[in-house]
């Protein structure tokens, strides 16, 4: 029953146009800030309204996330015994390894604000500058 209640709650907000607008704002801000240095992983329109998966080619996603304080996100790679491997999903999508190693998946929630998105962009700018 708990899972059903959680799914019902998520369904009540995940399809709202506002969450998709925030996701699109986040992507727009990343492309403005990192033009040519950020790549969208996945389809440009047919994707979850609350998720943004991007890559910073030539960078390592886990290193970026470690330096990005206060942000809960995940990478598109897995670390095993000190080596980093491209995720099977990104491999299946034919994302080149030099791009996929810099992948980060950001998920927006019902309480995400524009100010939080700007703070993440600012943090990324400081890390990647």
| Domain edges within the chain | 2-128
Kindly report the number of other CB atoms within 10 A of residue 109's CB atom. Answer: 13
Q: What's the pLDDT at 2?
A: 77
Catalytic residues: 79
Q: Beta 51-55 vs 74-75: how paired, if at all?
A: unpaired
Query: How is domain 2-128 classified at the architecture level of CATH?
Result: Alpha-Beta Complex (3.90)
The structure's pTM equals 0.82
**Which pLDDT tens digit goes with each residue over 59-104?**
999 999 999 988 989 986 655 445 678 888 898 999 999 999 999 9
For residue 83, the cross-strand partners are 80
């Amino acid at each position: 029953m708990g899972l059903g209640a959680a799914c019902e709650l998520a369904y009540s907000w995940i399809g709202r146009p506002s969450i998709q607008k925030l996701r699109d704002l986040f992507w727009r801000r990343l492309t403005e800030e990192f033009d040519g240095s950020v790549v969208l992983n996945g389809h440009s329109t047919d994707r979850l309204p609350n998720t943004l998966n991007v890559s910073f080619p030539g960078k390592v996603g886990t290193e970026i996330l470690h330096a990005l304080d206060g942000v809960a996100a995940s990478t598109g790679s897995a670390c095993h015994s000190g080596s980093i491997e491209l995720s099977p999903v990104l491999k299946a999508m034919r994302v080149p390894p030099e791009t996929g190693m810099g992948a980060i998946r950001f998920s927006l929630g019902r309480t995400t604000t524009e100010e939080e998105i700007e703070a993440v962009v600012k943090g990324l700018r400081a890390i990647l500058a």
